[in-house]
Structure 1
Amino acid sequence: MNAMLPESIRYARSYLFTPATDPRKFLKGIELGADVVVLDLEDSVALTNKINARKNLINFFSTKKPFITAVRINNIRTIEGLVDLQFLTALKFIPDIIFLPKINHAEEINIVRDLLKPHHRTQPAIMSIIESTKAVVNLIKIAKVSDGIIFGSLDFSVDCDLEPTWDSLRTVRTRMIIAAGNANIACIDTAYFDVNDKQGLIAECMKLRQLGFRAKAAIHTSQIETINQIFIPTDAEIKHATQVLNAYANEVGGIEVLDNQMIGPPFVLRARKILKRASFRKKNDYCL
């Protein structure tokens, strides 16, 4: 795990994935409010277009960008993934975040870090994509060496031969929240794939908030605003958190009463987390 992970990455809410075949979409995603836009070399790029996509990224990363940059490479257990790793070592400026798909073991992440370390003074954050039963079995170890974990629900569903519904995937999501909390890293949910179903996206995001998620992937710019609005503390939450801290300001341990509710140290810790996330509610705060 990168101990110096910028808070702008730690508190990002929306991750828009877009093909690296057209880097102009990166800037469009930033303009439309995505906290992180991920230039994809994997599933959204056909095999015949991989080379051109890498060439686009060489040009894109020839200068340092004033915002968070991210790339999803191919599975490192494949030839395309190995080519991607070699390509990353040759970039003038390394992306701020690298997404590693199909990760099964913690050792794979360590290998990537060891390969990149000699080539760049600044090391990228590593986000491991959880897409298999092996990854879930090894989740605690994977989380400990990652800077974040993100759910890949479709590949996981295929691996388990199950229907990708909220109920069927809830257990995995809960395990991811626990593993991320144990490692103190970001936990990002999978994309919502029906881009025309805004109400469905809203409903899923609200459930995710209750489960402990604070970020979600997006596959269309129309999803950004909804995700950003839901994964940020509400005015009511901010007000209550402030009241909790004010009520507890002069106490050293013990219990206080606020609006007929007993509050103690756990309430204070939660209030501090809420206010910390709220401090990043302005879009400009997500620039490095």
Structure 2
Amino acid sequence: MIRSYMFVPADSPRKLEKSIESEADALILDLEDSVAASQKSEARTCLDAFLAQRRREIRKHLYVRVNDLESGATLDDLAIVMQHRPDGIVLPKSTSAEDVRQLGHYLDAFEAVYPRNGSLAKILPIVTETSSSLFRLHSYKDVSPRLVALMWGAEDLAADIGAVRRKANGRWMGAFAHARALCLIAAANAGVQAVDAISAEITDMQSVEEEAREAREDGFSAKAAIHPGQLRPINQVFTPSEEELAWARRIVAAFDAGDGVATLDGKMVDRPHLRLAERLLSSERS
């Protein structure tokens, strides 16, 4: 299970090189928001050179965030990155399952040219960056075998709805808390991982840890990062403790001995407890 996804600007050779040794479980090499509009072509060239030289040495899950489907640049991005066989593509400003389906068709074509030994490049859409996207989050269920997770984000949504403040006293304000919850529920509905948004804090690691802990307690199983310093607290929070794993094993054992419901420490446990236990144990194995 991936606990941390770190965005890395694709136009910075120095940051690309440093990312290889980071503590991130997955890298998201970014051709979109972290690259100025005037630098898109240069960023593709930089990323192409980096992956040509270093792809085989990257022992992390490798994703690339392309430009959104409305930008007119998605195919240009894919033409560069798919020859390097990334593990997946992050799709920004996804408005519904139709965007995932369209990207999947593009990937089918590129994978016919650059075969992957039977595997499919995964798709991780960012699903809350426009106001219209919030009305279609149910649509991602069963859209594609490529769909691996749903991520939410606040920055573009703030611009779309005209919000001048996203948080108050460390808590997400109304529309953003709503979008976050909808993403979490939509991911559960689709049976894929829910990824919490980035933290803007790059010096206050206690705040990053608190954000990550709240996300995990709410049901997210990973968090995005924008700085290497954020990775350690994120990874620690999303790693099940030995106590949690022991509890999960006891739950599974109790159900193996019974049917439908079970008893543990004098208390009844039922199928939702079993599902949570299995989720914890699956994160241990992956």
Q: Same fold (TM over 0.5)?
A: yes
Residues 151 and 189, structure 1, Cα contact 8 Å, conserved in 2: yes
TM-score by length of 2: 0.85
2:241 corresponds, among 234, 254, 261, to 234
Q: Determine if the alignment matches structure 1 residue 201 to structure 2 residue 203.
A: no
2:34 pairs, out of 23, 32, 44, with 44
Aligned ranges 1:103-118 → 2 under 5 Å: 103-118=94-109
Give, as a single letter, the amino acid of the residue that structure 1 aligns with 2:124.
M
Take 2:69 and 2:28, find their aligned partners in 1: how far apart are those partners? 18
Residue identity matched to 1:69: L
Q: 219-228 vs 48-57, which deviates more?
A: 48-57
Closer/same/farther in 2, CA of residues 19 and 253 from structure 1, 3 Å limit: same
Aligned-residue offset at 1:150: 1.0
Counterpart-to-counterpart distance in 1, 2:92 and 2:262: 46
Q: How many residues align?
A: 267
Please tell me whether the aligned partners of residues 61 and 95 of structure 1 are also in contact (alpha carbons under 8 angstroms). Answer: no
1:7 aligned residue: none
Cα separation, 1, equivalents of 2:17 and 2:93 = 27
**Counterpart position of 1:17:** 7
Q: Aligned residue for 2:49?
A: 59
The answer on whether the counterparts of 1:26 and 1:38 sit within 8 Å (CA) in structure 2 is no
Equivalent residue runs for 1:143-162 within 5 Å: 144-145=142-143, 146-162=147-163
| 2:279 paired with 1:273 | yes
Deviation at 1:128, TM superposition (A): 0.8
Distance 1:167 1:235 in 2: 35
- Give distance in 1, aligned partners of 2:152 and 2:39: 26
In structure 2, what is the Cα distance between the partners aligned to 1:127 and 1:208?
A: 18
Provide the TM-score with structure 1 as the length reference: 0.85
Distance 2:69 2:9 in 1: 18
* Secondary structure, counterpart of 1:21 in structure 2: coil
Q: Deviations over 1:157-195 (max 9, x none)?
A: 222233212242222212111111111112111100021
Q: Which has the higher contact order (CA 8 A, sep 6+)?
A: 1
CA distance 1:223–1:216, change in 2 (3 Å): same
What is the CA distance between 1:82 and its match in structure 2?
A: 4.2
Matched, 1:174 2:167: no
Instruction: Give deviations 1:90-114, integer Å, cap 9, x for gaps.
Output: x422211111111213222222221
Query: Aligned residue for 1:136?
Result: 134
Which of residues 246, 251, 270 is equivalent to 1:264? 270
The alignment-based identity, stated in percent, is: 32
The answer as to whether partners of 1:188 and 1:213 remain within 8 angstroms in 2 is: yes
* Amino acid corresponding to residue 221 of structure 2 in structure 1: R
From the superposition, tell whether residues 96 and 137 of structure 1 become closer, same or farther in structure 2 (CA, over 3 Å). same
Counterpart of 2:152, as a letter, is F
Q: Name the stretch that deviates more: 93-102 or 159-168.
A: 159-168
- Give the Cα separation in 2 of the matches to 1:190 and 1:274: 21
Q: Distance in 2 between matches of 1:40 and 1:133?
A: 23
Q: C-alpha separation between the residues in 2 aligned to 1:185 and 1:17?
A: 20
AA aligned to 2:161 is C
Contact 2:24–2:60 (CA under 8 A) maintained in structure 1:
no
RMSD value, Cα: 2.0
Q: Distance in 1 between matches of 2:141 and 2:228?
A: 29
Q: Provide the residue aligned with 2:73 in structure 1.
A: 80
Instruction: Using the TM superposition, give the Cα deviation of residue 16 of structure 1 relative to its aligned residue in structure 2, in angstroms.
Output: 0.6
Instruction: Decide whether the 8 Å contact of 2:95 with 2:136 is kept in 1.
Output: yes
- 1:164 pairs with one of 163, 166, 178: 166
Return 109-118 or 208-217, whichever deviates more.
109-118
TM-aligned CA distance change 1:28 to 1:176, over 3 Å: same
> Any conservation in 1 of the 2:198–2:226 contact (CA below 8 Å)?
yes
Q: Write out per-residue CA displacement over residues 194-234 of structure 1, whole angstroms, 9 at most, x where no aligned residue.
A: 21122221221121112110111100000000100111212
